[in-house]
Structures are given as structure tokens and as C-alpha cells.
């Protein structure tokens, strides 16, 4: 490619460190689309003869068919996807192939290809997350009134419903999908035409190529167009946050499936066994979803590190932008698909969940609220009274709802029989009817809102 300036071929080690076709071959569809748009624009502007443009477009179409059929000769000697395509084009159509690179550099070419790929990846990630939300909505609707313990510090806190718990993840994944859509909107500007770094002296039409590739507009600064990868960093940031949410849900599935909890089960098809312990049913898919977070977060850190301190415009360091992005989105796509399958197949043990809902004096806050509401105690005084009642119930080995009235009145004489109406987990959940609350009616209303939004 640069034989006119160099008299020696690259050393073996130079070839080994410089070649990227093993990674960037994944950009073949984007590279062909960018070349077709560029060629069509050159012909429209009279920069390229019509017959040459037709030959180039025909050759690119042949290459597309070869790659789809698995017969395209990917070769390390041509370094990357761009030169592999150009070399094959020359073999197919001869001299006109050399005219395709007019008014274009590999710098704006790869920046365009990579944006197109990341844009598609953001679309796929958002669609995958929405499929996961739909699976969660089905389970949440089926179990909107299923009592379970809510936790803080993994200690029983207050009763909630399983539907409400699952809807928390619907909200999280909704924000995750929104981050991918936001990132896509910001990256939807076209670098093509920036050339190496300073733009092109040819009378090109950058708006034409941008429109042909589905971009909103061309990028406004040629240096910026070829030198930044913030679009990839933003997409990786969204991926890392989404992976964190997936990991939290995966962790809960792992905990809930232990015999000590026994809250849920998964079918054989989504669990594994043990090579030595025949009784085991392991939630390996949930554990692996949890582990994928490390790889995705690592990809973000890797690219942040590559990009820090690079002077404008392009540096070869930026060839290392694609491996972490490809790896992260592969991992994210698989994790989302696995989690969607697990959520759809989840089998809650409603009896076990309900029994645990009242454990650990989980309605203590309801007692404190009743004291404030009915006896006009200051909340701090009500908190103290409730704490004493919990201590007494614990000493007697009973729940708050089983603590005799005379024991409560020994702590606060004004407590009446009416207090028992708020001390069951069912009453606790049912009382929280405000927007965002865990009452079944509030949960069902939010489910319907999300169904409409996703429709």
C-alpha cells in the first residue's frame, strides 16, 4: 500500500502487531456500505467517471456475495478489512478499483464503519433489553399480589410483592435501553469526508453520503471526526451500567434458588448439574450473567485507557478500540438473552415467599406508622416504642402480630386491639397504594403503563 515510499516489506513482528483483519473483518458490511455511498457520491459530483463507478459498485456487490457465502479470501497481508476489500476489488475489476479511495482516507473510513457498527449494536442492545422487560412484565402481572420479603442489607425489611420487586428491574432496564437510544442519537453524525484529518480538496458532498448511510448530518470538524471515540465509550458506558443491573438480578436468582431461601426454581433446561454431586441443580446461567459484568466493565476501562492522552488527530493506538467493543457487546447480547430466558421460565414458590414475607418483624414500620397516625406520637417516640415491642416479641419467640395486647400496652398503654389490622404482611402491602408503592393495585397500574409504552 505504501510501497512508493518504503523500500522494505514490514518485518514479521511489525506485521504481527500491525495486522487487524482478524478483528475488524466484522466490519465488512459497514465497510461495503460506506464504500458504496462514497462511490455513488463521487460519481454524482463528477469526480468519478460513471463507467468506473458502475464497475466499482458491481465489484462491491460481488464481494458482498462472497463474504456472505464464506468464500471471500481474508488475507493477513492486507492488514485490515478496508485493504482486504480494496485488494479483492482490484482483482475483480482492475484499474477502476484504485479510484474508489479518491477523497477518502482509512481514518475517516474506519471511523465511519465503526460508528455504523456501534449504532447497530446500540439498536440491538435496546431491543434485547425491551424483550427482557416484556418477560419481566409477564411475571410481574402473574405475581402482582404475591407476598415476599423486601430486603435492605439482605436483612428482612418490609413486605413487598414479587410483582413490585420484578417491576424494579423493568424500570432499570428501561433506563438502560434509553441510554443506548441516547448514545445512538448523539453518535449519528457521519465522519466520511473528513479524509485523513483536514478534509478533502475535492468537491465532495458530505451531506449526500451522510444521508445515504442513515446519519442525521456530517460531523462538523474533520479533526474531531477521525480522532475521537467517545461514541464507543458512551455505548460501553451504557453497556456497563446495563450489565450491572443484569448482575444484580442474576445474583438474586442465585440466592433465591438456594434451599435456604427456596423462593424460585428454574427448569432443567436452564440449570446444570454436578460431575460428582448428583443432587445439585446449579443456576450457572445466572452466575455467568453475573460474571459477564466484569468483562463488559473491563472493556470500558480498556478503551478509556487507550484514548487518554492521545494528541489529535489519529494515532494507531485507536486500532485497539474495536476488540473491547466487540467483546463487550457480544457478552451483553448473550447475557440479556440468557436472562430473558430465565425470567420467562422462572417458577416462584408463592407459599415460601409469603411465609418469608412476615419474618424478621417485617411489619415493625407499620406499627410505628400506626402509632403516629392513631396516637399522634412523634415518629422518633413511635420508633422507640416499636423497637421495644420487637424486643419483647423476640424474647417471647413470636411475631409482632402475635404479641399479646397486654404486652404492647405495657410499653405504650394507649395501644388498642385495632393495631393488629396493620401488622400482617398483606395489610402492610395493601396500604402502600401511592404512586410507586407495592400495593397490588399500584403494581398492576404500572404494569399497564409499561405495556403501553413497549407496544
Residues written for the chain: 455
The answer to whether the beta carbons of residues 139 and 132 sit under 8 Å apart is no
Q: Which residues of 192-209 are buried (b: 16+ CB within 10 A; e: fewer)?
A: bbbbebebbeeebebebb
Instruction: State the Cα–Cα distance between residues 113 and 2, nearest whole angstrom.
Output: 22
Q: Is 396 left (phi over 0), alpha (psi -120 to 50) or beta?
A: alpha
Rounded to 5 degrees, φ, ψ at 325 are: -70, -45
Centroid of chain to Cα 171: 13
Active site residue 237: no
Catalytic annotation present for 35: no
d(CA 396, CA 373): 27
Helix axes 81-93, 28-44, angle to 10 degrees: 60
Beta-sheet strands, E only, within 258-346? 264-265
Among candidate residues 7, 82, 153, 406, the one labeled active-site is 153
- How distant, in Å, are the alpha carbons of 150, 358, 389, 398, 408 from that of 393? 21, 13, 6, 5, 9
**Residue from 237, 247, 274, 337 carrying the catalytic annotation:** 274
Closest to 86 (Cα-Cα) out of 117, 111, 66, 56: 56
Q: Which of 348, 282, 284, 355 is nearest to 136 (CA)?
A: 348
Separation in Å, CA 297 to CA 121, 132, 284, 291, 343: 16, 21, 20, 10, 23
Task: Look up residue 124 and give its three cell numbers.
Answer: 440491538
Instruction: List the alpha helices (DSSP H) in 346-434.
Output: 350-357, 364-375, 379-396, 405-411, 425-430
Catalytically active residues are 153, 274
Amino acid at each position: 500500500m505504501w510501497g512508493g515510499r518504503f523500500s522494505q516489506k514490514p518485518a514479521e513482528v511489525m506485521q504481527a502487531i500491525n495486522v487487524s483483519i482478524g478483528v475488524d473483518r466484522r466490519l465488512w458490511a459497514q465497510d461495503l456500505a460506506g464504500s458504496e455511498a462514497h462511490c455513488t457520491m463521487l460519481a454524482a459530483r463528477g469526480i468519478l467517471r460513471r463507467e468506473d463507478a458502475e464497475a466499482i459498485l458491481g465489484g462491491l456487490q460481488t464481494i458482498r456475495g462472497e463474504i456472505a457465502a464464506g468464500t471471500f479470501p481474508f488475507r493477513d497481508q492486507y492488514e485490515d478489512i478496508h485493504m482486504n476489500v480494496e485488494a479483492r476489488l482490484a482483482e475483480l475489476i482492475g484499474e477502476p478499483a484504485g479510484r474508489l479511495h479518491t477523497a477518502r482516507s482509512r481514518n475517516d473510513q474506519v471511523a465511519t464503519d465503526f460508528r455504523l457498527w456501534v449504532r447497530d449494536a446500540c439498536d440491538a442492545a435496546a431491543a434485547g433489553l425491551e424483550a427482557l422487560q416484556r418477560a419481566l412484565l409477564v411475571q410481574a402481572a402473574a405475581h402482582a399480589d404475591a407476598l415476599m420479603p423486601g430486603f435492605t442489607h439482605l436483612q428482612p425489611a418490609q413486605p413487598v410483592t414479587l410483582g413490585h420487586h420484578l417491576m424494579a428491574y423493568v424500570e432499570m432496564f428501561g433506563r438502560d435501553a434509553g441510554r443506548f437510544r441516547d448514545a445512538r442519537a448523539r453518535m449519528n453524525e457521519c465522519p466520511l469526508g473528513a479524509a485523513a484529518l483536514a478534509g478533502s480538496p475535492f468537491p465532495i458532498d458530505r451531506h449526500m453520503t451522510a444521508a445515504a448511510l442513515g446519519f442525521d448530518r456530517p460531523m462538523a470538524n474533520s479533526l474531531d471526526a477521525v480522532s475521537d471515540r467517545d461514541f464507543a465509550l458512551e455505548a460501553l458506558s451504557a453497556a456497563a451500567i446495563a450489565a450491572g443491573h443484569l448482575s444484580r438480578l442474576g445474583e438474586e436468582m442465585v440466592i433465591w434458588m438456594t434451599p435456604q431461601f427456596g423462593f424460585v426454581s428454574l427448569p432443567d433446561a436452564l440449570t446444570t448439574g454436578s460431575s460428582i454431586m448428583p443432587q445439585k441443580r446449579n443456576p450457572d446461567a445466572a452466575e455467568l450473567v453475573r460474571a459477564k459484568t466484569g468483562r463488559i466493565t473491563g472493556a470500558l476501562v480498556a478503551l478509556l485507557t487507550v484514548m487518554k492522552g492521545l494528541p489529535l488527530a489519529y494515532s494507531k493506538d485507536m486500532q485497539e478500540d474495536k476488540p473491547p467493543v466487540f467483546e463487550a457487546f457480544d457478552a451483553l447480547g448473550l447475557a440479556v438473552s440468557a436472562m430473558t430466558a430465565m425470567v420467562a421460565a422462572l417458577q416462584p414458590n408463592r407459599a415460601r415467599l409469603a411465609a418469608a414475607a412476615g419474618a424478621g418483624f417485617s411489619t415493625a414500620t407499620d406499627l410505628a406508622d400506626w402509632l403516629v397516625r392513631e396516637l399522634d406520637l412523634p415518629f422518633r417516640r413511635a420508633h422507640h416504642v416499636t423497637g421495644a415491642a420487637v424486643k419483647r416479641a423476640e424474647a417471647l419467640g413470636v411475631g409482632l402480630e402475635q404479641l399479646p395486647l397486654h404486652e404492647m400496652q405495657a410499653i405504650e398503654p394507649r395501644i388498642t386491639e385495632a393495631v393488629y389490622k396493620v401488622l400482617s404482611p398483606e395489610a402492610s402491602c395493601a396500604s402502600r397504594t401511592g404512586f410507586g408503592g407495592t400495593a397490588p393495585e399500584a403494581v398492576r397500574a404500572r404494569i399497564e403503563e409499561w405495556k403501553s409504552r413497549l407496544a
